[in-house]
Structures are given as structure tokens and as C-alpha cells.
Amino acid sequence: MLDNQFREFLEQAGKFTQNAINSRVAKANAAERILGCNLDSVVADDDKMYDSLVELQKHENPKHNPIQNAVRKYYIFKNRKEFPQLRYYKR
């Protein structure tokens, strides 16, 4: 994962406090540990992104998914677009 570039991306968005940025970077790193792979490979393939978000659901409260949200922000950083909600994703 490109920690520093991701941090800069979040800073440039202008809608996050420094604590929020630190939290998202930390949660993105946690996602890498849970998934056992680099987020760059996850966000490069939409099917792998979907599978990763489904896997992360098993590790979080379904009403509050901060790790998934951090991975989604990383997807936006790398792909310049949002990943669709899981229920709308078509393989």
C-alpha cells in the first residue's frame, strides 16, 4: 500500500481531520493484515475487491464498517472512481 500517497490524497480531499486520516490509513493497513495481501492488488481487480469486502464483513460490525470504508477510500485513490455497493456489484 502506498501509505504516504494515500495520506496525501485524503489530505487534499479537504474533508478529513488529521485524526480521521490517521485512522483510515491504520484501518487500510489492518485490512492488508486481515486479507493477507497488498491493497494495491485488491483494488486493481474489481472481483478481488468484491471478495475482499465480503471477507472484511466477517471481521466487522455490520452497521459500522470502518475497515471496508478505508479500503473503499483506497480504491477511489487508486482508480479515481467509487466501487459500487456490494448489492449492486455484478460479476
pLDDT tens for 9-51 read 999 999 899 999 999 999 999 999 999 999 999 999 999 999 9
Residue whose C-alpha cell is 490517521: 22
What residues have CB less than 8 Å from 67, skipping those under 6 apart?
27, 28, 30, 31, 34, 56, 59, 60
Instruction: Name the CA radius of gyration of the chain, rounded.
Output: 12
The answer to whether 83 and 56 are in contact (CB under 8 A) is: no
Instruction: Using the predicted structure, report yes or no on whether residue 91 has a pLDDT greater than 80.
Output: no
Band of residue 63 on the pLDDT scale cut at 50, 70, 90: confident
The answer to whether 6 and 45 are in contact (CB under 8 A) is: no
> How big is the CA angle at 53 (ends 42 and 90), to the nearest 5 degrees?
90
